[in-house]
Amino acid sequence: MTIDLIYLDKCNSNCTSDWKYYRVTPLFGVHIETCQLKFPKFEDIGVPIQTPFIVGLASAYDIKGTLMKHVGIDQDRATLIGVRER
């Protein structure tokens, strides 16, 4: 079973068309996969990026944050809005 954590970054905007969605998916306990999503079906935009946990979840958080900044998403602003099973 694979679980996606779905996040929303409102990008400090009240216009919903500016908002960005992304998912974080733990894979086999050694990697995380991150991908921006298209609303409203939450389909992947582009190719998902896999990164290693390195030294636990704190490192994964830092790596994911760096990757998401490249697509204009600030994980410190983002809110967990859902969990889904794939």
**Considering only CA atoms, which of 1, 23, 25, 22 is closest in space to residue 10?**
22
In the chain, how many domains are there? 1
Average pLDDT over residues 15-29: 91
- Residue 14's domain comprises 3-85
pLDDT at residue number 58 = 62
Token representation of residue 3: 């679980």
**pLDDT tens for each residue of 23-69:** 999 888 778 889 999 999 999 999 998 887 665 556 777 878 888 88
- Given a contact cutoff of 8 angstroms between Cβ atoms, the answer to whether 7 and 23 are in contact is yes
Token representation of residue 59: 């490192």
Going by DSSP bridges, is the β-strand pair 43-52/79-85 parallel, antiparallel, or unpaired?
unpaired
- Given a contact cutoff of 8 angstroms between Cβ atoms, the answer to whether 9 and 78 are in contact is yes
pLDDT at residue number 5 = 92
